[in-house]
Amino acid sequence: MNKRALFVAMLAAGLGTATLPATAETVEDMSFSGMWNLCDSDKNGAVTKAEFLTAMGKAYDAHMKKMKSMPDGGKMMKGEALTADGLRALFRATYPGP
């Protein structure tokens, strides 16, 4: 590869990564890396049961808030609990699939 082509390739790669959004640490980012960053709260490269449960609790709370604002949310909730349809929707939001 000549120097000009190498430079253009490196420049394109650099610009591509510069425009990527910062890894979110919110329940809105349901990608694996987003969920990892949400779960690994102490950033030690491992997720404890407590960290996982805290992160899933945040996801559950955000999902409940969203359900309450939806017109058909009532059939996905029973008081402050999710019905089977509501839990299915939470699972789909948390893991939309491959």
* CA 62 to the chain's CA centroid: 12
60 inside domain? yes
10 inside domain? no
- The 3-state DSSP class for residue 27 equals coil
**49-59: pLDDT as tens digits:** 999 999 989 88
29 inside domain? yes
79 inside domain? yes
Q: What integer is the mean pLDDT of 48-76?
A: 87
For 15, half-sphere exposure in the C-beta direction (CA atoms, 13 angstrom radius) is 6
Please report where in the chains the tokens 């699972």 appear, as a residue. Answer: 91
Count of structural domains within the chain: 1
Range(s) of the domain holding residue 66: 23-94
**11-47: pLDDT as tens digits:** 444 444 333 444 445 656 667 888 888 899 999 999 9
* CA 29 to the chain's CA centroid: 3
Distance CA 32, CA 28 (A): 12
DSSP-assigned beta bridge partners for residue 77: 82
9 inside domain? no
What is this structure's pTM? Answer: 0.60
Whether the CB-CB separation of 76 and 90 falls below 8 Å is answered with no
15 inside domain? no
